[in-house]
Amino acid sequence: MPAPLRLGLAGLGTVGVGVVRIVQRHADLIAARAGRPVQVIAVSARDAARDRGVDLSAYAWEADPVALARRDDIDLFVEVMGGSEGPARLATEAAIDAGKDVVTANKALLAHHGQALAEAAETAGRVIRFEAAVAGGIPVIKALTEGLAGNRIGRVMGVMNGTCNYILTRMESAGLPYETVFEEARQLGYLEADPNLDVGGIDAGHKLSLLAAIAFGTRVSFDRVELEGIGKVSIDDIRHAADLGFRIKLLGVAQMTGRGLEQRMTPCLVPADSPLGQLQGGTNMVVLEGDAVGQIVLRGPGAGEGPTASAVMADVIDLARGVRLPTFGQPATSLVEPVAAAAATPAPHYLRMTLLDKPGALAKIATELGAAGISIDRMRQTQHQGAHAPVLIVTHKAAPQDVAHAMTRFAGTGVLVGEPVAIRIEEV
Amino acid sequence: MPAPLRLGLAGLGTVGVGVVRIVQRHADLIAARAGRPVQVIAVSARDAARDRGVDLSAYAWEADPVALARRDDIDLFVEVMGGSEGPARLATEAAIDAGKDVVTANKALLAHHGQALAEAAETAGRVIRFEAAVAGGIPVIKALTEGLAGNRIGRVMGVMNGTCNYILTRMESAGLPYETVFEEARQLGYLEADPNLDVGGIDAGHKLSLLAAIAFGTRVSFDRVELEGIGKVSIDDIRHAADLGFRIKLLGVAQMTGRGLEQRMTPCLVPADSPLGQLQGGTNMVVLEGDAVGQIVLRGPGAGEGPTASAVMADVIDLARGVRLPTFGQPATSLVEPVAAAAATPAPHYLRMTLLDKPGALAKIATELGAAGISIDRMRQTQHQGAHAPVLIVTHKAAPQDVAHAMTRFAGTGVLVGEPVAIRIEEV
């Protein structure tokens, strides 16, 4: 049997321990599939003394991940520390410099430095793989880069932050406001140390920017992702959306149109009976649309020890098998700087507002919509609350800027109580 | 840029034409992704004169696919003719013998001759790929062989014949009997020339046997797939199942248990609100379960020009990129002969029967179930039809042989009208 593939593993948190478990438990299975053994040689983590529930005694210990990355006795540097800067970045750069391939679960690192790292790797003749960085255990990088390689990709969509989806589905099922469920999620340990990475859409935005690069042959441009978190999603909107046959999801959409590349990670309504609408709890889903294949939907666990380690090991075993592809599916130097679309593709919108209960109020709103060129698909006036009349409107397809313009015009009608709400309805 | 990958394409039906369209339309995209051009050099089909709506003038024409497979000016033989014997088999064998790699969409060929072909290819240092043979455009072979390579696979399930799923969902939505919808499907051109390939479960069984080989490292053993088509699924059972919260699917299940390998392609009940239960029309779905990743669900078009050609091109581009894996994910000579499980894993069952409307009838049935060690989860006596009382029973988990035994014992009770029905409820 050929020589083993020798790993240096940086990071012994949940994912790192999961990788160790798979390497130890499935040594024979992996050797049979890879055609050679896969071994962990050395590890690195902040606390050498902590009991992690796995036997690390056979591995060398490096206090410094950079030193680990440069060890002569490893072929492959596995980075599961996280963070876009600091040790993760330094060690990844060191690994490439030292002639090692890299497998990483680090979406933040690649969202910010993916282009530079991919170019450095290609110059050095090395490979960076990152299946675990997007949608956990779902092999979506592979499906997009390889499985759909014969397609021009039109659109990629996904629910890629399990915590946000947990919060939104729990709000609906328990009828609880955002703040209460957010606090629950925090106490359950579902939130990142900086919760804004989750609920602000940043983590999911990182993932979307990586998918977009592969899908469209463009440089990763996370700074052009339109980001809006779930903090403003109200239980009222969740309920009204449900009444209208929709669910609210933190939905990532990357789409190449004649006007450029659109990247959005924002709350959207989707049909309740669509695969995306039916997605409950922490599960992730990615939808890939290609000109030949049509629509492919991938669903699975987006986080956790086993699923993320499974994705890391897919990359490791690919490399053990000799599969070597460019980081983003084509040479990094051939990726083009994307033109960011000035505005999102037109779409139906959900509007909710409260009107004074007096004659002609609804007509004034309808007039403003008409003036903005927005036609109404459905309008529903719900039960009066005292002198106020809550109104729900589903528009036909409308440009987001026209919707925004109409929303500002509503204020001048004198019939509005409080702030109106507009949420995009993504056609899935 | 490196030399082009040169294809010989055997078969110019729907899939072959789709491959030509992609190669022509996306030449630049494919070259960027593969790092080299992909070109069709020569083609073969039965009728050279027919207008297929694509320009074939630049390609050499071979009347004989075997001659095509042996041409010196091709690197890769693409077989999209179909059929487990005859030209497809001969040409594939010739291609390997002549030192060509093979990409095939031919599930029947591999289900019957996969082991021999894989061994021949490995001896010759060549590669056989078959993404298009299973679940059309869904990159499921890649997901299982590569994406989940770090997992011990526990179970693989799938709805993998779109025609059967179309018939079953149409029966439910239109309230029509099997025979009527079968005839509709025939007139719509949804059925194979031999319809039993579809409705008898053979086509789907071929696919399941290929997934099982990859999942469990076993030799393809199609002859041990328990096969039952959809011809006996009645509109009554579809309706009653729906009332109980289930849908009936032609479901493939491959599962490795302590008692051996189970392979079943049979009508099953699945929860109506599960991803499998929600699958409508001709769409395919495959569910992969691994010990690390948990459950991954893949959904997409299972047939048609674009989806199938997309899968063929994924394999072609992999080969252009230099990705070379053993046919079934590990060397063919290392695949073991599976021990076929004597009986399927215990599962809940749906039972339907009609009883004479007289005192004690139900008690006699319940007594026989108890004697067979089968406990009842739910029992429902529906509206009387004259002197007859239709009865539905959902059992707790029970061994299929115990269910079968109880069914034969029912006849001796003297209270049964007609034949009772038992259908497995697969826990998904």
Q: Do residues B250 and B168 lie in contact, with contact meaning Cβ atoms separated by under 8 Å?
A: yes
Q: CATH 3.30.70.260 in chain A, residues?
A: 349-424
CATH of domain B5-133: 3.40.50.720
Indicate which residue of B100, B142, B207, B249 is catalytic. Answer: B207
Q: Encode chain A (428 residues) as per-residue pLDDT tens digits.
A: 789 999 999 999 999 999 999 999 999 999 999 999 999 999 999 988 899 999 999 999 999 999 999 999 999 999 999 999 999 999 999 999 999 999 999 999 999 999 999 999 999 999 999 999 999 999 999 999 999 999 999 999 999 999 999 999 999 999 999 999 999 999 999 998 899 999 999 999 999 999 999 999 999 999 999 999 999 999 999 999 999 999 999 999 999 998 999 999 999 999 999 999 999 999 999 999 999 999 999 999 999 999 999 999 999 999 999 999 999 999 999 999 999 888 889 999 999 999 998 888 999 999 999 999 999 999 998 777 777 888 999 999 999 999 999 999 998 999 999 999 999 999 99
User: Which of B32, B309, B323 has its CB closest to that of A330?
Assistant: B32
Is 80 exceeded by the pLDDT of residue B1? Answer: no
Residues of B in contact with A314 (CB under 8 A): 146-150
Residues of B in contact with A26 (CB under 8 A): 150-152
Nearest chain A alpha carbon to B18 = A292
Q: Do residues B208 and B158 lie in contact, with contact meaning Cβ atoms separated by under 8 Å?
A: yes
Instruction: State the smallest CA–CA distance between residue A47 and chain B in angstroms.
Output: 25
Is A107 a residue of the active site?
no
- Alpha-carbon distances, residue A109 vs A15, A145, B78 (angstroms): 16, 20, 40
Instruction: State the smallest CA–CA distance between residue B214 and chain A in angstroms.
Output: 10
Residues of B in contact with A293 (CB under 8 A): 137, 300-301, 306-307, 310-311
Strands A349-356 and A416-424: antiparallel
Contact (CB<8Å) B138/A296: yes
User: Which of A32, A139, A148 has its CB closest to that of B314?
Assistant: A148
Alpha-carbon span A279 to A207, nearest angstrom: 18
User: Which of B142, B275, B278 has its CB closest to that of A142?
Assistant: B142
Interface test with chain B among A76, A131, A287, A293, by most B beta carbons within 10 Å = A293
What's B80's DSSP letter? -
Instruction: State the smallest CA–CA distance between residue B325 and chain A in angstroms.
Output: 7
Strand blocks (E) in B20-109: 38-44, 60-62, 76-79, 101-104
Nearest chain B alpha carbon to A136 = B293
For helices A27-34 and A14-25, angle between their N-to-C axes, nearest 10 degrees: 80
pLDDT of residue B181: 97
Residues of A in contact with B310 (CB under 8 A): 148, 150-151, 290, 292-293
Interface test with chain B among A22, A146, A159, by most B beta carbons within 10 Å = A146
Nearest chain A alpha carbon to B139 = A147
Residues of A in contact with B299 (CB under 8 A): 275, 296-299
SS3 B26: coil
Indicate which residue of A107, A142, A207, A249 is catalytic. Answer: A207
* CATH number for domain B140-302, candidates 3.30.565.10, 3.40.190.10, 3.40.50.300, 3.30.360.10: 3.30.360.10
Alpha-carbon span B275 to B270, nearest angstrom: 9
Per-residue pLDDT band for B381 (boundaries 50, 70, 90) equals confident
User: Which of B29, B292, B313 has its CB closest to that of A309?
Assistant: B292
A146-301 under CATH 3.30.420.40, yes or no: no
The pLDDT tens digits for B223-260 are 999 999 999 999 999 999 999 999 999 999 999 998 99
The pLDDT tens digits for B340-364 are 888 889 999 999 999 998 888 999 9
What is the ipTM score, two decimals? 0.96
Contact (CB<8Å) A301/B309: no
CATH of domain A349-424: 3.30.70.260
User: Which of B139, B329, B334 has its CB closest to that of A148?
Assistant: B139
pTM of the model: 0.97
The pLDDT tens digits for B385-398 are 777 888 999 999 99
Tokens of A69: 């990355």
DSSP for B237-293, please give it: HHHHHHHTTEEEEEEEEEEEETTEEEEEEEEEEEETTSTTTT--TTEEEEEEEETTT
Q: What is the 3-state secondary structure (H, E, C) of chain A?
A: CCCCEEEEEECCCHHHHHHHHHHHHCHHHHHHHHCCCEEEEEEECCCCCCCCCCCCCCCEEECCHHHHHHCCCCCEEEECCCCCCHHHHHHHHHHHHCCCEEEECCHHHHHHHHHHHHHHHHHCCCCEECHHHCCCCCCHHHHHHHHCCCCCEEEEEEECCHHHHHHHHHHHHHCCCHHHHHHHHHHCCCCCCCCHHHHCCHHHHHHHHHHHHHHHCECCCHHHCEECCCCCCCHHHHHHHHHCCEEEEEEEEEEEECCEEEEEEEEEEEECCCCCCCCCCCEEEEEEEECCCEEEEEEEECCCHHHHHHHHHHHHHHHHCCCCCCCCCCCHHHCECCCECCCCCCECEEEEEEEECCCCHHHHHHHHHHHCCCCEEEEEECCCECCEEEEEEEECCECHHHHHHHHHHHHHHCCEEEEEEEEEECCC
Q: CATH 3.30.360.10 in chain A, residues?
A: 146-301
